[in-house]
Amino acid sequence: MSSNPFTPTRRQLLAGTAALAAAGLAGLRPGFAAGVDWKRFAGTTLDVNLVKSPRSDTLIKYLAEFEELTGMKVNAEATPEQQQRQKTVIELSSGKPSFDVVHLS
């Protein structure tokens, strides 16, 4: 172990990084949320192409809350990964995909 303050050990570096991250995030949400115009894109419809996974299940679970908060409408489709990849390649190659957002894994 090094006692030189300019050559930190791995443990000291990790602890310092964690402390800085925690300090930087402390109280961030209320200040950040206060200046956000959540309804800026109200009336917009997004078509989302998701890979069927626990992550997509979680995203779909909270869509209603997101739509209420933003005024946006989200149409989400979750398909198995292999089918989703084929669909994504074909539709992006066509130049006219049926989705606005794609989830890649």
Summarize pLDDT for 31-81 with one digit per residue, the tens: 556 688 889 999 999 999 999 999 999 999 999 999 999 999 999 999 999
32/77 same-domain check:
no
pLDDT at position 10 is 73
In a domain, 17, yes or no: yes
pTM: 0.64
Q: Is the pLDDT of residue 97 over 80?
A: yes
Give the integer Cα–Cα distance in Å for 88 and 70: 27
pLDDT at 50: 94
- What is the Cα–Cα distance from 92 to 7, expressed in whole angstroms? 49
pLDDT for residue 25 is more than 80: no
Structural domain harbouring 81: 39-105
Any domain includes 30: yes
Q: CA of 5: how far to CAs of 1, 10, 13, 66, in Å?
A: 11, 13, 11, 47
- Mean pLDDT score across all residues of the chain: 83
